[in-house]
Amino acid sequence: MKWNWQQPGWPRFTFDAKAQDGLEREFLKASGLLQGSYKHLKNDDKSELTVSLISEEAFKTSAIEGEVLNRDSVQSSIRRELGLQTELRKIAPAEAGIAEMMVNVHHRWKEPLTDKTLCEWNAMLLKGRRNLSHVGCYRTHTDPMQVVSGEIGNPRVHFEAPASRDVPCEMKKFLLWFNGKPKQNPDRLLPLTRAGLAHLYFVSIHPFEDGNGRIGRAISEVALAQSLGRPSLIALAATIEKKRRQYYDALERNNKELDVTNWLEWFAQTVVEAQARSISMIEFFIAKARLYDRLSGKLNDRQQKTLARMFREGPDGFKGGLSAGNYISITGATASTATRDLLDLVEKGALTRTGQRRHRRYNLALDGIGQDLV
């Protein structure tokens, strides 16, 4: 079987540019809406949104690879990397590493991509990993670099990357391609096309012993930011994680040929979905600010603590809804106090209530999301 890098013409990918024209237009239109909505946030809320988005991306880009991190530790580490106030807690190397890498990507999107930058990201990402022989540098082992699944005695090879000896040359060509499209060039690739090609091209080379998928997704975010002239603020990894199987299937369908139209269509649709998720997050922050303004001075400490905990879950909400038992766990209140506090929050319009007795659940009352943003 021949892989894409073994095909005549590699790495000149081909695609039907018209196939994603509509998605490219939708992306640019939604980018304007996202930026306009972002401007409605107060500075403190902008900082909190940035923390939330980067934290979610860090957490989800790791989850795509099957690595489950501590969400609170990731967020605390990202706050620290951004120079924001945070609680003092011991952070494990995995959480600290992905946080450092994601914040570095967020700050350095304007810079040309280099071998040094990519190796620094790999070193951050794999901080504390002692089971790898190559961290912070391209692979050099002689064994084939394969993506496999199945039993040890009967593996299924989904992809085999170029030999390690060819990686420096392949990466030189990749970086020349990625950095060689100045904005003033009228024939430059459109944002979604460039970002999608960058991701597929990079993971096809698979230059690192580990971390290629996470760095490949980060490169896509850099490409989008460079096309827009600002950080894209999109929940790309969070959206990909929701359809993880489709993601791997789409990559596998396009790793044997140089025509990558199908991959670019899938990727473009995913980015547009990620934008919608980010717009929802911004609207969520605006609604949060409105609710807090309306209830300023009207909540006790227990109620404030519980609302803060619920808001931390983001637009998807508290899983299954908040129960009286949850309220007691969060605040340490007695059962009667919890019932009284929750009823008061419903009467004040902070929460909605569904169900009866032990099935009663509470959710944030944010019906205004999506209104008055322009």
Residue labelled with tokens 């929802």: 280
Residue with the larger pLDDT of the pair 88 and 297: 297
- How many other C-beta atoms are found inside a 10 Å radius of the C-beta of residue 321? 19
**What are the structural domains, with CATH classification, of the chain?**
4-283 (1.10.3290.10), 300-364 (1.10.10.10)
Provide the pLDDT for residue 131: 83
- H helices present in the chain, as ranges: 21-38, 43-64, 71-81, 93-107, 115-125, 167-179, 191-205, 212-228, 236-242, 244-253, 261-294, 301-311, 324-331, 335-347
Residue range 19-36: average pLDDT? 92
Provide the pLDDT for residue 184: 42
- Mean pLDDT is lowest, of 59-63, 317-321, 351-355, for 317-321
- Contact (CB, 8 A) for 207 and 7: no
Provide the pLDDT for residue 185: 45
Residue labelled with tokens 């900082």: 47
- How many other C-beta atoms are found inside a 10 Å radius of the C-beta of residue 265? 18
Provide the pLDDT for residue 56: 92
Residue range 131-138: average pLDDT? 90
Work out the pLDDT band at 264, boundaries 50, 70, 90. Answer: very high
> What does the mean pLDDT of the chain come to?
90
Residue range 126-131: average pLDDT? 87
Residue range 166-193: average pLDDT? 83
For 64-74, write each residue's pLDDT tens digit.
999 999 988 99
Return the structure tokens found at 90: 């011991």
Q: What is the phi/psi pair of residue 37, to 5°?
A: -65, -40
- How many other C-beta atoms are found inside a 10 Å radius of the C-beta of residue 218? 26
- What does the alpha-carbon distance between residue 258 and residue 285 come to, in Å, rounded to a whole number? 42
Residue labelled with tokens 């050099």: 140
